[in-house]
Amino acid sequence: MMGGTSGLEHLDELYESIILDHYHNPRNTDPLESPDIDVEAHNPFCGDEIHIQLDIENGKVSGVSVSGQGCAISQSSASLLAEMLDGTEATEALELVSLVRRMMRGDELSEEEQDQLGDTIALEGVKRFPVRIKCALLSWTALEDALNG
Site for Zn ion in 70-89 (CB under 5 A): 71, 74
What is the smallest separation between the CB atom of 73 and Zn ion, expressed in angstroms?
6
User: Among residue numbers 120 through 149, which ones bind Zn ion (CB under 5 A)?
Assistant: 135
**Window contacting Zn ion (CB under 5 A); options: 28-36, 38-46, 55-63, 97-105:** 38-46
Specify the length of the chain in residues: 149
- In the complex with Zn ion, the residue whose CB is nearer, 10 or 115, is 10
Check if the beta carbon of residue 56 is closer than 8 Å to that of residue 62. Answer: yes
Backbone φ and ψ of 142, nearest 5°: -65, -40
Q: Closest distance between Zn ion and the C-beta of residue 133, in Å?
A: 10
Q: b/e string for 93-125 if b means 16 or more Cβ within 10 A? A: beebbebbbebbeeeebeeebeebbebbbbbbb
| Cα 25 to Cα 19, 51, 52, 76, distances in angstroms | 10, 16, 17, 9
Least distance CB 129 / Zn ion (angstroms): 10
Closest CB to Zn ion among residues 43, 65:
43
Q: Could you write out the DSSP letters of every residue in 27-57?
A: SS-SPPSS-SEEEEEEETTTTEEEEEEEEEE
Q: How many residues bind Zn ion (CB under 5 A)?
A: 5
46 binds Zn ion (CB under 5 A): yes
- Provide the minimum distance between the beta carbon of 139 and Zn ion in the complex, in angstroms, as a whole number: 11
Nearest distance, CB of residue 100 and Zn ion, angstroms: 15
The footprint of Zn ion (CB under 5 A) covers 46, 48, 71, 74, 135
